[in-house]
Amino acid sequence: MENIKLSFIVPIYNVAPYLRKCVDSLLLQDYEDYEIILVDDGSSDSCPAICDDYLNHKFENWHANNRSSKSRLEICNHKSIPIRVIHQANAGLSAARNSGIRVANGEYICFVDSDDYWEENVLGELMAQIEQDNLDVLRFNYQNVRLVMDEGVNGLTKGRKYEVFQPNKDPKRDVDYSETVTDGETFLNERLGPMCYAVMFVIKRSLLVATSECLTNERVNECLFKEGIYFEDVDWTPRMLLRAKRVSSTPMIVYNYFWRLGSISLAVAPEKLRKIIEDKIELIRGFQEQKKKVRDSKWFEWMTSFTAMTILDVLTNFSLKERRTYVRELQLLDIFPLMTKKEKIQSHKIKVQVANISPLLYCKIMKMVKRVKCNV
């Protein structure tokens, strides 16, 4: 297929109630030089059939569910937007994204999680900014949404209502959405904050893979996603940015991030919590290696502190024996004292200072605080 400007990559796993909302939002754009790659990662629900409906351009239900806005069927023929489908055995989010990267024809790539959705008619403005500033990477803004009414049936979106909301913890306070163009390392240190969401970027594909013939090359593969881990975005984002020469942002709300029970970020089962801790320790090891390669390492130092504190918070769910084991592992990484100077909230700074005195003392105090809150 002839090269196009942008490839949307949508990894999909058992999200039938939300998938049409996601794909429909990508069709409702004021730009036409793009494709949509749906990667069905071994779904056991109706997702494979929904993907094949789009592949075969069966849009009867689409038109019925989008009468409230000007139908894209009246603007252009859906068949002019290539939709491609990959069906693969379940291998996880990272593997699904990598599969999409390998077959993408776009000069640029954008990831979209299959239970989230885009605002209508925003792609044209994004691509205009990319063209005007000759960007390698453009980071856009987002909002959190949740479901307030659900009458959808068989993957249809009719009757499903969302509302914008502000969760208790949102890292956007540390993010700079200014439109100044800078290099990737400066962007990482001065403007990224902890916002390492792959779905918030439009990325030049050549930053990730050069050609299909180079996919076994270690230098090229280093910017694919690591498979089998949680927080793959946090691992991937700095590696990607450090290869970029021209990076910018836009404050425009483009992305709707859907909060729902069952998400990895909301997991509380003990086995998942252990996996979270172990993967976060691996993240810290990766930060230590990465900071050896940069002029300014403050983002890696800050994220090491941020990640270590989240590990200590999770450890309050475990026995003293397990806490000691994991804390000892952190101490062997020689990450203490943790950075405090970037903490803008005084209570957070105090928590880090306590953890620097004694990580186990911090865990004990936070466990007591949790007990008090539960008894109130």
Tens-binned pLDDT, residue by residue, of the chain (376 aa): 568 999 999 999 999 999 999 999 999 999 999 999 999 999 999 999 999 999 987 654 444 444 444 444 444 455 578 999 999 999 999 999 999 999 999 999 999 999 999 999 999 999 999 999 999 999 999 999 999 876 555 555 556 789 998 876 666 767 899 999 999 999 999 999 888 999 999 999 999 986 544 445 444 455 899 999 999 999 999 999 999 999 999 999 999 999 875 454 444 688 999 999 999 999 999 999 999 999 999 999 999 999 999 999 999 999 999 999 999 999 999 999 999 887 777 888 999 999 999 999 999 999 998 887 776 5
Q: Which of 231, 237, 159 is nearest to 198 (CA)?
A: 237
pLDDT value at residue 194? 83
Position 269 scores a pLDDT of 81
Domain ranges of the chain: 4-266, 270-375
Cα(first)–Cα(last) distance of the chain, in Å?
A: 62
Quick one: pLDDT at residue 72? 45
3-state SS of the chain is CCCEEEEEEEEECCCHHHHHHHHHHHHCCCCCCEEEEEEEECCCCCHHHHHHHHHCCCCHHHHHCCCCCCCHHHCCCHHHCCEEEEEECCCCHHHHHHHHHHHCCEEEEEECCCCCEECCCCHHHHHHHHHHHCCCEEEEEEEEEEEEECCCCCCCCCCCEEEECCCCCCHHHHCCCCCCCECHHHHHHHCCCCCCCHHHEEEEHHHCCCCHHHCCCHHHHCCCCCCCCCCHHHHHHHHHHCCCCCEEEEEEEEEEEECCCCCHHHCCCHHHHHHHHHHHHHHHHHHHHHHHHCCCCHHHHHHHHHHHHHHHHHHCCCCHHHHHHHHHHHHHCCCCCCCCCCCCCHHHHHHHHHHHHCHHHHHHHHHHHHHHHHHC
pLDDT at 215: 47
Predicted TM-score (pTM) of this structure: 0.88
Phi/psi class of residue 42: alpha, beta or left (left: φ > 0; alpha: ψ in -120 to 50)?
A: left
Query: Which pLDDT value is given to residue 158?
Result: 58
Residue 67 has a pLDDT of 43
Q: What is the CATH number of domain 4-266?
A: 3.90.550.10
At CA 325, angle to CA 232 and CA 303, rounded to 5?
Answer: 35
pLDDT the model gives residue 347: 87
pLDDT of residue 57: 73
| 235 CB burial (10 A radius; 0-12, 13-18, 19+) | buried
Cβ proximity of 133 and 145 under 8 Å: no
Supply the pLDDT for residue 73: 41
